[in-house]
Structure 1
Amino acid sequence: MAEFRMPSLGADMEAGTLVEWLVKPGDQVHRGDVVAVVETQKGAIEIEIFESGTVEEILVPLDERVPVGTPLARLRLEGEGAEPAPRPPPSSPEATAALGAAPEGGEPKPFLPLARPGPAAPAEAELRPAAERILASPAARRIASERGLDLAALTGSGPGGAVISPDLDRAPAEEPRVAGPRARPGLDLDAMRSAIAGAMARSKREIPHYYLQHTVDMATALDWLAEANAGRTPERRLLAGALFIKAVALAARRFPALNGFFGTKNFEPSRAVHVGVAIAIRGGGLAAPALHDADRLSLGELMDGMRDLVQRTRAGRMRSSEIADATITVSSLGERGVEALYGVIYPPQVAIVGFGKIVQRPWVIDGAVGPRPVVTATLGADHRVSDGHAGALFLAHIDKLLQEPERL
């Protein structure tokens, strides 16, 4: 038997509120399945399970705020037999006597009172069976609550038929219906800003940052991108951001001191490279969900993953593993016209890489000066784990990789 616990979704998270169960006792679950939705300062996060088996018991009802590490459910793992039903209490003096009877030729056994039964599992109605669940993004839930709309009366156009924000604009405003009791507020940007502020204050207070920058010639990479995109439809085209993330992922694999987590006292390098991608949320929020195993993905897979992350993050549909697993973060403000940025490390990570806008600058090639597209790459790293020498080699390796885009 295993316990499914409230996960930690970042160094700044202390507790979360369980807002939806997507399973009920008796359901089969597999590693990676989304089984619950938890509301945090980052918004509503889909929580995945990391073991396969059968849900034995739900321990936490809806709308309860519980600390990180609290058992949420009990899981019977694959291969384990069902727990035997508890023995009923004796109903007669004869039965009571039988419990204390001695085996033949032995001493009488002491009578052991039955254990007090624990708290009952949440009622079936509280678990909300799959057939009754309303799929909707947190933003849609918030807007529906504000407008007094019933999500159950709307037709969703999002993934899996989920109700998303544009669907609410098509709802008849003249006949508002009261939203059901399960309608939840969406993304609280004030709370998110508060969480970001706390994490960044802790980072600058506890982590001795050092910063490096390096200018990368992007001419070869951009020429290769143009050729690679010539045969692609617009929605399948690669962006320079995919090259940046793949180059960082490969460099992080080569320089493990920049890829991992700083625990209570020591650094723990990660064998996997999960690149956190900083995504701006409309209204002022920020999240950096992870692209898992980014060093092993093709550029096409990376691009698909980036599009999916941006869409789901802005719809408030991030998953717990995406929030907690990032081993290094990449941030870019190039689309905002910024030529360089110096990021703050998100604990417990130990490095963040920034890319600015690709700009034309004078560049010396074979002794002659000419215009060249360049980008400024920066590194913010934890001096407890690495130093400027390692950081410089890391940035130089990213440069080298971007000069050979066909090998990414």
Structure 2
Amino acid sequence: MATFRMPSLGADMAAGTLVEWLKKPGDPVRRGDVIAVVETQKGAIEVEVFEDGVVQQILVEPGATLPVGTPLATIAGTGGEPAAEAVEPVVTPPSVPSILVPSVSALLPEPDGVGQGHRPASPVARRLAARQGIDLSGLRGHGPGGAILLADVERAIAAPARRPAGLNLAEMRQAIAAAMARSKREIPHYYLSTTVDQSKAQTWLATVNADRPPERRLLLAALELKAVALALRRLPEFNGHHRDGAFQPGQGIHVGAAVSIRGGGLAAPAIHDTDRLGLDELMERFRDLVARTRAGHLRSSELGDPTITVTSLGDRRVDGVFGVIYPPQVAIVGFGRLVERPWVVDGRLAVRPLVTLTLAADHRVSDGHRGSLFLAEIDRLLQEPEAL
């Protein structure tokens, strides 16, 4: 038997609110299936299961705010074997400081004067419908017994660029600040920077994108993400986590792409196996990740296992960004804006498109020498864009 627990979705999460179950006792599940929705400062997160089996027992009812690691359900083996020992259901959720994880009611305040009748619906779906003026009686529910889920309400809202429902940006900023303060206290940062000539990358992109429609064009960001991922193959000490006093190498290269949320806030979900993706697939996944981050449609696996973070403020006209490491990761790479400046090429002065590339890394795991090799490898790879 396996115990399905409240997942950890990053260093800035101490607890989460169980919003709804997407499976019920007796339902079969396979690794990667979404089993529940959990509300955090990053929005409503679809939580996946990591075992094959059958849902045996639901231990927590929707609406409970619980610490990371709390048992939520039990899952029997693929044959539905009974549990070796019973786990007591959680009757009264423990108290969690609201400054870290707000309750569902805090994230989605009840509006006045909007009635929704008696259609079965999850609390978060009902509140979102009320906020948006959506009549639940006109919706089709896809939950147990036809209950209306969050996704059902979201499909009814024709606003592709809307902000994540009920996302409390002030709470998110407080949680991020707490995680960054912990990072600066506990992690001995060192910082390096270099300047990268992007003329070859720009020329190659212009050629590749010449006959493509806008939605299929590659962006410089795809090349930068892929170059970081490939550089990690050669210098794996920057790819992984520092836990329990030791470095744990990543089980794959899962680059976390920092995405700003309109109105404030930040998330850095993972693009899994970044080094193995072709540039077109990587670009497609990156676009999808940005859209879902800003709509509040992330999965737990995308938030729980990035092995390094890449951040860029180039589109905000920032020349360089020196990030703070997101624990338990051990490095963060930053790209500044592309700017044309004088540059010496083969002994002659020329004007070239340049980018400031930075690294903040954990001195417990690596040092400046290795960090300089890492930045040099990223630079080398960007000089051969056709090989990415």
- Bucket of the pairwise TM-score, normalised by the shorter protein: 0.7 to 0.9
1:359 matches 2:339: yes
1:278 matches 2:258: yes
- Distance, in Å, in 1 between the alignment partners of 2:267 and 2:43 is 10
Q: Where in structure 1 are there 5+ consecutive unaligned residues?
A: 85-114, 122-131, 170-183
Deviations 1:221-269 (A, max 9, x none): 1111111112322101100000000000111121111110010211111
- Distance, in Å, in 2 between the alignment partners of 1:135 and 1:304 is 32
- Distance, in Å, in 1 between the alignment partners of 2:236 and 2:261 is 30
Question: Helix, strand or coil: the match of 2:3?
Answer: strand
Aligned twin of 1:67: 67
Percent identical among aligned pairs is 62
Q: How many pairs align?
A: 349
Q: Which sits farther off after the overlay, 346-355 or 4-13?
A: 4-13
Deviations 1:56-75 (A, max 9, x none): 11111111112211111111
What code does the residue aligned with 2:250 have?
S
Aligned twin of 2:374: 394
Question: Helix, strand or coil: the match of 2:154?
Answer: coil
Aligned twin of 1:242: 222
In 2 relative to 1, CA 403–153 (structure 1 residues): closer, same or farther, beyond 3 Å? same
In 2 relative to 1, CA 221–74 (structure 1 residues): closer, same or farther, beyond 3 Å? same
Question: Helix, strand or coil: the match of 1:251?
Answer: helix
In 2 relative to 1, CA 30–155 (structure 1 residues): closer, same or farther, beyond 3 Å? closer
What code does the residue aligned with 1:17 have?
T
- Distance, in Å, in 1 between the alignment partners of 2:326 and 2:89 is 39
Deviations 1:90-129 (A, max 9, x none): xxxxxxxxxxxxxxxxxxxxxxxxx9996599xxxxxxxx
**1:12-91 correspondence runs (5 A):** 12-78=12-78, 80-83=79-82
1:298 matches 2:278: yes
Question: Helix, strand or coil: the match of 2:208?
Answer: helix
In 2 relative to 1, CA 223–185 (structure 1 residues): closer, same or farther, beyond 3 Å? closer
Aligned twin of 2:188: 208
What code does the residue aligned with 2:377 have?
H
- Distance, in Å, in 2 between the alignment partners of 1:401 and 1:266 is 30
TM-score (norm 1): 0.79
Question: Helix, strand or coil: the match of 1:167?
Answer: coil
What code does the residue aligned with 1:163 have?
E
**1:127-146 correspondence runs (5 A):** 144-146=129-131
In 2 relative to 1, CA 198–151 (structure 1 residues): closer, same or farther, beyond 3 Å? farther
- Distance, in Å, in 1 between the alignment partners of 2:80 and 2:368 is 55
Q: How many angstroms does 1:149 deviate by?
A: 3.9
Q: How many angstroms does 1:150 deviate by?
A: 3.3
1:163 matches 2:154: yes
Aligned twin of 1:190: 170
Q: How many angstroms does 1:28 deviate by?
A: 1.3
What code does the residue aligned with 1:56 have?
Q
In 2 relative to 1, CA 283–120 (structure 1 residues): closer, same or farther, beyond 3 Å? closer
Contact 1:362 1:371 in 2 (8 A): yes
Aligned twin of 1:252: 232
Q: Where in structure 2 are there 5+ consecutive unaligned residues?
A: 92-118, 142-149
Question: Helix, strand or coil: the match of 1:372?
Answer: strand
Aligned twin of 2:355: 375
Q: 1:336 aligns with which of 316, 327, 330?
A: 316
Q: Which sits farther off after the overlay, 396-405 or 225-234?
A: 225-234
What code does the residue aligned with 1:61 have?
E
Question: Helix, strand or coil: the match of 2:211?
Answer: coil
Q: 1:320 aligns with which of 267, 284, 300?
A: 300
- Distance, in Å, in 2 between the alignment partners of 1:25 and 1:313 is 30
Q: How many angstroms does 1:166 deviate by?
A: 5.2
In 2 relative to 1, CA 366–281 (structure 1 residues): closer, same or farther, beyond 3 Å? same
